[in-house]
Amino acid sequence: MGNTSDTDVCVRFENQSGGIGIRGQYMGEGSIVPGRWHRLAVAFDLMGSTMEKYIDGSLFAVQQLPDSEAELDGRFSLGPSALLFADEDGESQVAYINSIQIRNYAMDADEIRGLGGPTAQGISTNSVALTK
């Protein structure tokens, strides 16, 4: 499967500090430190046209999405297939991933905080946050 579209979320590093976002909006409270494990979470609210970005359980930033892209079955909705860590023009780099979790609803801040920071065991499948 080839990728013909831009990534929906990416990490950008400047001066040994990383942020999460798209369209040049990578600033927030906290940062991703190269060479250290982090737990990243992104929750899309398509009705509110926002993307909430979290690093290690703490809110990093809320990014406004263009209304034209924040629609049901639009750019930020999961389709029948997904390309992870892919970008159409090669804007990618080496990364180490411990685990990935995709949910069928947008987690709230308390649920994401409940996941805690990164662990060698990955995301707990016994977590209270999995009960919705």
Contacts of residue 130, defined as CB under 8 A and 6 or more positions apart, other chains included, come to: 124
Ordered alpha helix ranges (H), 28-102: none
86 within some domain? yes
**Are 95 and 85 contacting, i.e. CB atoms less than 8 angstroms apart?**
yes
Q: From the centroid of its chain, how far is CA 101? A: 10
126 within some domain? no
130 within some domain? no
121 within some domain? no
pLDDT in tens, 64-120: 998 888 887 888 888 787 778 877 887 777 888 888 888 888 889 999 988 888 887
What total number of domains does the chain contain? 1
Whole domain around residue 110: which residue ranges?
1-115
Which helix (H) or strand (E) segment holds residue 21: the answer is strand 17-21
Q: Are strands 40-45 and 17-21 parallel, antiparallel or unpaired?
A: unpaired
pLDDT in tens, 21-79: 988 898 999 999 988 999 999 998 888 899 999 999 999 999 999 888 888 788 888 87
pLDDT at 129: 47
pTM: 0.83
Quickly list DSSP for 67-78: TTTSSTTSTTS-
